[in-house]
Amino acid sequence: MSRLVVVSNRTADPRNTAAGGLAVAVRESLQQTGGLWFGWSGKVAEEGSEDRGAARTNEPHLQTVGNVTLATLDLSQEDHETYYLGYANAVLWPVFHYRLDLANFDARFAAGYRRVNQLFARKLLPLLRPNDTIWVHDYHLIPLAAELRAMGCRNRIGFFLHIPMPPPLIMAAIPEHGWLTRCLFAYDLVGFQSEADVMHFSHHVESEAWAQTLSRDCIRAFDRTLRIGAYPIGIDVDDFIRLAEADEAREMFSRIRDEYSRRRLLLGVDRLDYSKGLPQRVHAFRELLERYPETRNLATLIQIAAPSREDVDAYGELRRHMDSLCGAINGDHGELDWMPVRYIHRNIARRRLPGLYRASHVALITPLRDGMNLVAKEFIAAQDPADPGMLVLSRFAGAAEQLKEALLVNPYDTHGTAQAIHHALTMPLDERINRHKALLDRIRKFDVLWWSSSFLRALHEVERDDVEVASDALCPSYQ
Residue 289 vs 304, nearer CB to ligand ADP: 304
Amino acid at 99: R
Amino acid at 140: H
- What DSSP string runs through 384-436? -TTS--EEEEETTBGGGGT-TTSEEE-TT-HHHHHHHHHHHHH--HHHHHHHH
Give me the catalytic one of 270, 370, 436, 447: 370
Give me the catalytic one of 80, 97, 137, 162: 162
- 333 part of the active site: no
**Binding region for ligand ADP (CB under 6 A) out of 172-180, 201-209, 366-374, 427-435:** 366-374
Helix spans in 261-312 (H):
278-291
* Residue 240: closest CA among 452, 460, 454, 444: 444
Residue 124 in contact with residue 437, Cβ under 8 Å?
A: no
Q: Is residue 78 close enough to count as binding ligand ADP by CB under 6 A?
A: no
Task: Tell which one of 146, 252, 265, 304 touches ligand ADP (CB under 6 A).
Answer: 304
Q: How far is the CB of 66 from ligand ADP (least distance, A)?
A: 22
**Binding region for ligand ADP (CB under 6 A) out of 184-192, 252-260, 265-273, 464-472:** 265-273
Distance in angstroms (rounded) separating the CA atoms of residues 342 and 300: 7
Q: Is residue 270 close enough to count as binding ligand ADP by CB under 6 A?
A: yes
Residue nearest to ligand ADP (CB): 20
Q: How far is the CB of 377 from ligand ADP (least distance, A)?
A: 8
Task: Tell which one of 325, 372, 421, 439 touches ligand ADP (CB under 6 A).
Answer: 372
- Cα separations (Å) of 208 from 96, 114, 410? 17, 21, 30
Q: How far is the CB of 380 from ligand ADP (least distance, A)?
A: 13
Distance in angstroms (rounded) separating the CA atoms of residues 147 and 113: 12
Residue 40 vs 185, nearer CB to ligand ADP: 40
Torsions phi, psi for 87 (to 5 deg): -65, -45
Task: Tell which one of 76, 373, 417, 452 touches ligand ADP (CB under 6 A).
Answer: 373
- 162 part of the active site: yes
Burial of 121 from C-beta contacts in 10 A (0-12 / 13-18 / 19+):
buried
Task: Tell which one of 213, 330, 347, 410 touches ligand ADP (CB under 6 A).
Answer: 347
Residue 288 vs 353, nearer CB to ligand ADP: 353
User: Using N-to-C axis directions, what is the helix angle for 237-245 and 247-259, rounded to 10°?
Assistant: 60
Q: Is residue 374 close enough to count as binding ligand ADP by CB under 6 A?
A: yes
Q: Is residue 21 close enough to count as binding ligand ADP by CB under 6 A?
A: yes
* Residue 145: closest CA among 191, 190, 189, 187: 187
Q: How far is the CB of 92 from ligand ADP (least distance, A)?
A: 14
Q: Is residue 375 close enough to count as binding ligand ADP by CB under 6 A?
A: yes
For residues 26-65, which are near ligand ADP according to CB under 6 A? none
Could you tell me how far CA 320 lies from the centroid of its own chain?
Answer: 24
Q: Is residue 314 close enough to count as binding ligand ADP by CB under 6 A?
A: no
For residues 155-184, which are near ligand ADP according to CB under 6 A? none
What SS3 class is residue 306? strand
Residue 88 vs 153, nearer CB to ligand ADP: 88
Q: How far is the CB of 284 from ligand ADP (least distance, A)?
A: 19
Distance in angstroms (rounded) separating the CA atoms of residues 27 and 242: 18
* Residue 246: closest CA among 349, 167, 113: 349
Task: Tell which one of 378, 379, 409, 456 touches ligand ADP (CB under 6 A).
Answer: 378
Torsions phi, psi for 367 (to 5 deg): -65, 155
Q: Bridge-partner residues for 392, per DSSP?
A: 364, 407
Overall size of the chain counted in residues: 479
Sign of CA dihedral 386, 387, 389, 390: positive
Number of residues binding to ligand ADP, judged by CB under 6 A? 16
Q: How far is the CB of 348 from ligand ADP (least distance, A)?
A: 4
The set of catalytic residues is 162, 370
Residues making contact with ligand ADP (CB under 6 A): 20-21, 269-271, 304, 306, 347-348, 350, 353, 372-375, 378
